[in-house]
């Protein structure tokens, strides 16, 4: 959903409705906030018991580093790209995440 919001952002930024713009930002904020816990739960489910805490710590550190790099890159890119189209590049992250999940099959639940 966050990748879809990135792709739709040029249309929303070009709209002249303040209410629509604020509603979109609210929705985008909700779906972006949900990405991190979903990814952490995937790591927690798939990491070995002995290293689960370490895996979660590493994943959180990588997530913060990617966030800082994305903010800096977007700021730099703003000097070269139309401001309406600036957030399209952020769709690359969710697209790579989806590609990484394509080959995975869920393991059957054990009771």
pTM for the complete prediction?
0.70
Is residue 97 domain-resident? no
Task: Say how far apart CA 66 and CA 58 lie, in whole Å.
Answer: 12
Residue 30 lies in domain: 2-92
Contact by Cβ (8 Å): 90, 70 = yes
| Residue 10 predicted with pLDDT over 70 | yes
Is residue 52 domain-resident? yes
Is residue 110 domain-resident? no
- The confidence score (pLDDT) of residue 111 equals 52
Is residue 29 domain-resident? yes
| Domain total of the chain | 1
Half-sphere exposure of 34 (CA within 13 A, CB side): 9
Is residue 104 domain-resident? no
Dmax (CA) for the chain in angstroms is 55
Is residue 106 domain-resident? no
pLDDT tens by residue, 60-76? 899 889 889 989 999 99
DSSP readout, 22-38? HHHHHHHHHHHHHHHHH
Is residue 99 domain-resident? no
Is residue 101 domain-resident? no
What average pLDDT does the segment 73-81 reach? 91
Task: Say how far apart CA 88 and CA 90 lie, in whole Å.
Answer: 5
């Amino acid at each position: 959903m966050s990748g879809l919001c990135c792709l739709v952002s040029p249309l929303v930024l070009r709209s002249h409705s303040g209410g629509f713009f604020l509603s979109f930002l609210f929705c985008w904020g909700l779906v972006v906030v949900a990405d991190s816990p979903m990814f952490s739960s995937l790591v927690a489910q798939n990491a070995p018991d002995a290293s689960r805490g370490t895996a979660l710590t590493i994943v959180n550190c990588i997530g913060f580093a990617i966030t800082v790099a994305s903010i800096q890159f977007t700021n730099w890119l703003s000097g070269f790209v139309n401001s309406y189209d600036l957030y399209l590049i952020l769709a690359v992250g969710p697209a790579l995440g989806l590609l990484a999940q394509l080959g995975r099959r869920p393991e059957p639940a054990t009771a």
